[in-house]
Amino acid sequence: MAVEEVTGCPAEDFESITRRYVNSPELIVHGYSAGTKLGAIVGMAKMMLTRLPNFDRWDAERGHPMLAEPKFAIDNPEWMVSAEQQKLALLNPSTSW
């Protein structure tokens, strides 16, 4: 419903989208085409040998605020008390969406 409201067209089902990308892989990555097993192995090797980006350095270069001792909210006792009072669903692992 939201897709149709925004785009003016009804949403496609997952199967149609999947078939389109399987049949036309260049839609995913420009210049990519379904190829041989060797091509797949070379692509996998490239991924495995590519260095991971240093996100801390990237943030620092852009002047983003850096937290001295970052913590998850769930590790903060004050947050937990507040969350329990509000009965947040994310505290109960059995909650299903």
Range of the domain at 30: 2-67
Q: Report d(CA 1, CA 3) in Å as an integer.
A: 5
Residue 79: inside a domain, yes or no?
no
Residue 97: inside a domain, yes or no?
no
User: According to the model, what pLDDT value does residue 94 have?
Assistant: 57
Question: Does the global pTM surpass 0.75?
Answer: no
Count the domains in the chain. 1
Residue 93: inside a domain, yes or no?
no
Q: Does residue 89 have a pLDDT over 60?
A: yes
- Residues 81, 73 contacting (CB under 8 angstroms): no
Residue 30: inside a domain, yes or no?
yes
Question: Any idea which of 26-30, 53-57, 67-71 has the lowest mean pLDDT?
Answer: 26-30
Q: How confident is the model at residue 92 (pLDDT cuts 50, 70, 90)?
A: low
Residue 42: inside a domain, yes or no?
yes
Burial 35-44 (b: 16+ CB within 10 A, else e): eeeeeeeeee
